[in-house]
Structure 1
Amino acid sequence: MRPPAPQPRPPFLADTATGLPIPGEPDPSGPDEARRHRKQRLAAALRLFGRHGFGEGISGHISVRDPEYPDRFWVNPFGVSFRRVRVADLICVDAAGRVVAGSHQVNPSAFVIHSQIHELLPGAEAAAHGHTPHARALGALGRLLDPIDQESAAFYGRQVLYGDYQGPSVSVEQGRDIAESLGGNRAILLRHHGLITVGGSLEEAVHWFLTYESCAQVQLLARAAGTPQTFSHEQAVSAGAGFGDEQLGRFSFQLLWDEITAEQPDLLHE
């Protein structure tokens, strides 16, 4: 018997994994244009962290791999508030921890964590790290996100708890241990510390971070009120395929980019 003919795609569904009309990724003409694009998105991401109140003094960093030199990454400088970072303030750091572009210094924790993530995980083009309140509370409980809604399903089977706290992350060995523990996951929750998310683009990594923190808040609220009902395995996989789609993560950041650049255009100063 012949297999049934495939049904035509309904006209209201776009030809993407999610069926959403998500545009394709930009196609830079060369490394300079690609670098400028990444730096602008990085500055915007840092301002978004500031708008969400994710600053904790000198703590927290977001990095993106350089498009021309894969052993280098761009990151926010030490001692500059998320709320004030501009493209001009960003620094580029090499595999030895030397600042090869920019006039500021690197946060030692940013180097030891992000350098190892970028070195050991080729698919991690970007990494976001912060000491956010709800992720820290969830980590203190020793719990990961339960699949209680569509957003949290994006992390179903793609998150890990790291409990080997050894003080502030200032050694490459500890950064390597964190990166190895993260492995192919999307998020690593550091008990007594904070949250790290990664992605195949800066846009993805930041979207996953914002989503994880929001989901942690929802889970804590739900558990404080009663016993949350979780998805079945099949439901979690289905929801995760949609809300965990990489294209959707990237495009969701684009909406935030439009907002923050309209509100704070000075971030683009080079």
Structure 2
Amino acid sequence: MATTLLTPKAELVAKAHQQMQHELSDTLWSMTEKLALTCRILFDAGHDSGLAGQITARAETPGAYYTQQFGLGFDEITPSNLVLVDEDLNVIEGTGMANPANRFHSWVYRARPDVNCIIHTHPLYIAALSMLETPLVVSHMDMCPLFDDCAFLKDWPGIPVGNEEGEIISTALGGKRAVLLSHHGQLVAGSTIEEACVLAVLFERAAKMQLIAMAVGEIRPIPQALGCEAHDWISTAKRSQTSFAYYARRALRSHPDCLA
């Protein structure tokens, strides 16, 4: 016989979070393995744009982070061809060079000690939305991790290889986890690689949904309180780990060389 049909919602939410902590296992991949998997996951999710875009993760060495070797596409990244660079993009470990546009990552890391992974890409639907100079509108439950958590930079500052762009983009991001960059693309800043990867996947889907909805009518907002509730319900470390693990299993089926 059911015993929870009269249980308050807050109690059910707390119980579900507790059960997820106990039942859902942690991911066991290394940092470089997670980065390589993230590149393949995002490639499959439509974030590929030739050599454009960078994925970085803060290293244990202060002022250093891992990123992909410039010249390789997301579908070619493995743990062995990542490079470790300092804030000036000098290569500390690995061969080759980092994407010169990585400079603004250094600015974000300096401004946000809570951020350990940055994903910047130019996926199709986000890029199309950015051409309209309109903010991301979150009006669906599944996209609520971005609810009131996605900033907007309306004025394009040009190619992000100078320090000016780093200051502008990091300021636009502020304390949020994502920013839509007009005439450019998206940036996600996560506390973990898993969180950043999952948010980047959601971001592109949210842009696609917004463009489809805008084509047929006016997007109706969701109540602020319910949007915040859904944001907090989905935005947990355990949910990010579990979603990332699913995406990773799917990516490994398509890219068995990823962790070679």
Q: Same fold (TM over 0.5)?
A: yes
- Match of 1:79? 71
Structure 1 residue matching 2:31: 3-state secondary structure: helix
Moved more, 165-174 or 72-81: 165-174
Distance 1:53 1:156 in 2: 22
Q: Could you list the runs of 5+ residues in structure 2 that have no partner in the other structure? A: 1-6
Q: Distance in 1 between matches of 2:170 and 2:191?
A: 15
Are residues 47 and 250 of structure 1, via their aligned partners in 2, closer, same or farther at CA, if it must alter by over 3 Å? same
Note if 1:143 corresponds to 2:138: no
Distance 1:130 1:22, change over 3 A: farther
Which residue of 1 is the match for residue 80 of structure 2?
88
Alignment deviations for residues 207-234 of structure 1 (CA, whole Å, 9 cap, x no partner): 1011011011011101111123221112
Q: Deviations over 1:238-267 (max 9, x none)?
A: 221212334312321111112222432311
1:38 aligns with 2:31: yes
Residue equivalent to 1:154: 145
1:51 is matched with: 44
Percent of residue pairs bearing the same amino acid type: 25
2:161 counterpart residue number: 170
Q: Are the equivalent residues in 2 in contact too, given 1:155–1:244 (CA < 8 A)?
A: no
Pairwise CA RMSD: 2.5
Which amino acid counterpart does residue 120 of structure 2 have in structure 1?
H
Structure 1: 4+ residue segments shifted above 6 A: none
What secondary structure sits across from 2:62 in the alignment? coil
How far is the alpha carbon of 1:105 from its aligned partner? 0.9
Aligned pairs, how many?
Answer: 253
d(CA) in 2 for partners of 1:168, 1:190: 12
Q: Secondary structure at the match of 1:265?
A: coil
Q: Which residue, 90, 115, 118 being the options, matches 1:124?
A: 115
Question: How far is 1:91 from its partner?
Answer: 0.5
Considering fraction of residues, name the structure with more helix: 2
Letter in 2 for 1:91: V
Letter of the 1:160 partner, please give it.
Answer: A
**Equivalence for 1:3:** none
- TM-score under structure 2 length normalisation: 0.88
Question: Which residue pairs with 1:23 in the alignment?
Answer: 24
Report deviation, 1:21.
5.8
Counterpart AA for 1:149: H
In 2, Cα distance between equivalents of 1:120 and 1:25: 29
Q: Distance in 1 between matches of 2:250 and 2:36?
A: 13
Note the C-alpha offset of 1:121: 0.7
| Structure 1: stretches of 5+ with no match in the other structure | 1-5, 29-35
